[in-house]
Structure 1
Amino acid sequence: MAYVEQFGNAYADGYGDGSDGAVAVHSPADEQKYLLSYAPLVKRIVRQLNSQVAGAIDRDDMEQIGLIGLLEALRRYGTPDETFGSYASLRIRGAILDELRRQDWRPRAVRQQSHKLRDGVRALTRKLGREPNEQEIMTGLSLTPEQYQAYQLDENAELIASFDEVLQETVGQDSAPGPEEQLMVRRSLEQALRSLDEREQRVVQMYYEFELSYKEIAAVLDLTDARVCQLNKAALNKMKAVLAA
């Protein structure tokens, strides 16, 4: 669990030189240099999110939005250091997710179907007295593997958006916290991560720290994409509960 402290430190300390909360000033040449240096980070995050939102926004547009998020992160942070990547990742993801929400990326019919399936899974859980597995859900709700995968991706995309909101509220938006506040943020994140079992921790690590897609995580862990979605959903719900407490 060595990465637990690293994850907490990265988000808690991701404020760099802007200790007074002021907007950092870089020369245009420096901004261009940093944008080029961290452009691969934007591309990784866009690739990761693009696989979950069914082409709701054109990939090139997502990259442009991500670059705007990166630029805002640079101006808030100051000179990038070893923790800037984690800080920037949160801001880049936040910028893209904000645009997805603004455009109401989930059509009403998709939202209604998702709610219907969610209710069906809850009813099946009550009937079985435990959480059903993939096959039981597909059989009980008459879903094909493709339909089940689409349901899981839709559920996770919505949950990731809400979890990122909680993360951004936790680490703050406009000003850098003092040492005591940083310590509290770090401890909260470490506590949230420790609430997960080992496999859930690995999924969160690969998703947030290494920016892997569900398909890539599934290949590493030798699981189905749908099972990775389930693990990620369970992990984020646990972490949200801890962070919101």
Structure 2
Amino acid sequence: MGLVDTLADPYAESYGAVSVADEQKHLLAYAPLVKRIVRQLNSQVQGAIDRDDMEQIGLMGLLEALRRYGEPDTGFGSYASLRVRGAILDELRRQDWRPRAVRQQSHKMRDAVRDLTRKLGREPSEQEAMKALGLDAEGYQAYLLDENAETIASFDDILQDTLADTGSVSGPEEQLMIRRSLEQALNGLDEREQRVIQMYYEFELSYKEIAAVLDLTDARVCQLNKQALNKMKAVLAA
């Protein structure tokens, strides 16, 4: 079940409670999902939170997902992924994981790339952006990961809000409207952007893994992911 199906499913309490024994069984069964998401996010926040701590936070998100959803079915994995990711990102924001000086520097570099884009009339290439920012390949990769972490966090907020709205929907017409809005957001992407979003959100692949599949650089995958999320965010927030 994909991202569209996840957000189209209500998570009302009517799914039924899960016993403590069953909770433990399901936590063990879905622990690999938590580890995949932690591995994916850990590479993008540069050790801001210890990996073991991230896994504990993710498991708490998984437990909350179980208690909201009830007995897992085919749609639970995708639902739980959003909840686990959201729990970890909430903790990152709570700890203010990027120092103020780092945020200010990131904003300056973002403005520089925007200025270059306006001058060129197109998105700059990696080499052009690196030259404008005065960064080597490693520094540029770190800049892109930092930018993507912000974009992912804000996009996930919208996904969580959409998911919450779905839980309070009373009829099939409203559910269909929510599903169609997400489909519209996905369809507004080009084929490569759609593949990046699918591999990142549905299959929980890291940027490095996506880059290997698509035969791209890690930096290019970062760029594609960011522009795809921004396009979808604009549609979902409208």
Question: Is TM (by shorter chain) over 0.5?
Answer: yes
Deviation of 1:202 after TM superposition, in Å, equals 0.3
Distance 2:69 2:19 in 1: 14
**Counterpart position of 2:197:** 204
Deviation of 1:111 after TM superposition, in Å, equals 0.6
Q: Give the SS at the match of 1:177.
A: coil
- For structure 2, the 5+ residue unaligned runs are none
**Counterpart position of 1:229:** 222
Question: Is residue 153 of structure 2 the alignment partner of residue 161 of structure 1?
Answer: yes
Question: Is residue 138 of structure 2 the alignment partner of residue 120 of structure 1?
Answer: no
Q: 1:11 aligns with which of 4, 7, 14?
A: 7
Kept in 2, the 8 Å contact 1:12–1:183? The answer is yes
Question: What is the CA RMSD across the aligned residues, in angstroms?
Answer: 1.6
**Counterpart position of 1:47:** 39
Q: 1:241 aligns with which of 231, 234, 237?
A: 234
**Counterpart position of 2:101:** 109
Deviation of 1:173 after TM superposition, in Å, equals 6.5
Kept in 1, the 8 Å contact 2:211–2:221? The answer is yes
Distance 1:65 1:176 in 2: 26
Kept in 2, the 8 Å contact 1:7–1:190? The answer is no
Distance 1:39 1:99 in 2: 19
**Counterpart position of 1:85:** 77
TM-score (norm 2): 0.95
Q: 1:171 aligns with which of 143, 163, 169?
A: 163
Kept in 2, the 8 Å contact 1:70–1:91? The answer is yes
Q: Give the SS at the match of 2:13.
A: coil
Distance 2:17 2:70 in 1: 7
Distance 1:13 1:174 in 2: 7
**Counterpart position of 2:29:** 37
Kept in 2, the 8 Å contact 1:218–1:228? The answer is yes
Residue type of the alignment partner of 1:213: S
Residue type of the alignment partner of 1:40: P
TM-score (norm 1): 0.93
4+ residue runs of structure 1 moved beyond 6 angstroms?
none
- Shift of the 99–174 alpha-carbon distance from structure 1 to 2, 3 Å rule, reads farther
Kept in 1, the 8 Å contact 2:17–2:71? The answer is no
Q: Percent identity?
A: 78
Deviation of 1:113 after TM superposition, in Å, equals 1.3
Residue type of the alignment partner of 1:215: K
Distance 1:102 1:32 in 2: 28
Deviation of 1:18 after TM superposition, in Å, equals 2.5
**Counterpart position of 1:183:** 176
Deviation of 1:176 after TM superposition, in Å, equals 4.4
- Shift of the 27–216 alpha-carbon distance from structure 1 to 2, 3 Å rule, reads same
- Shift of the 32–50 alpha-carbon distance from structure 1 to 2, 3 Å rule, reads same
Alpha-carbon displacement from aligned partner over 1:108-131 (angstroms, at most 9, x marks no partner): 121111111101101111221222
- Number of residue-to-residue matches in the alignment: 237
Kept in 2, the 8 Å contact 1:8–1:185? The answer is no
Kept in 2, the 8 Å contact 1:14–1:87? The answer is no
Question: Is residue 68 of structure 2 the alignment partner of residue 76 of structure 1?
Answer: yes
Residue type of the alignment partner of 1:224: T
Kept in 2, the 8 Å contact 1:156–1:229? The answer is yes
Kept in 2, the 8 Å contact 1:73–1:87? The answer is yes
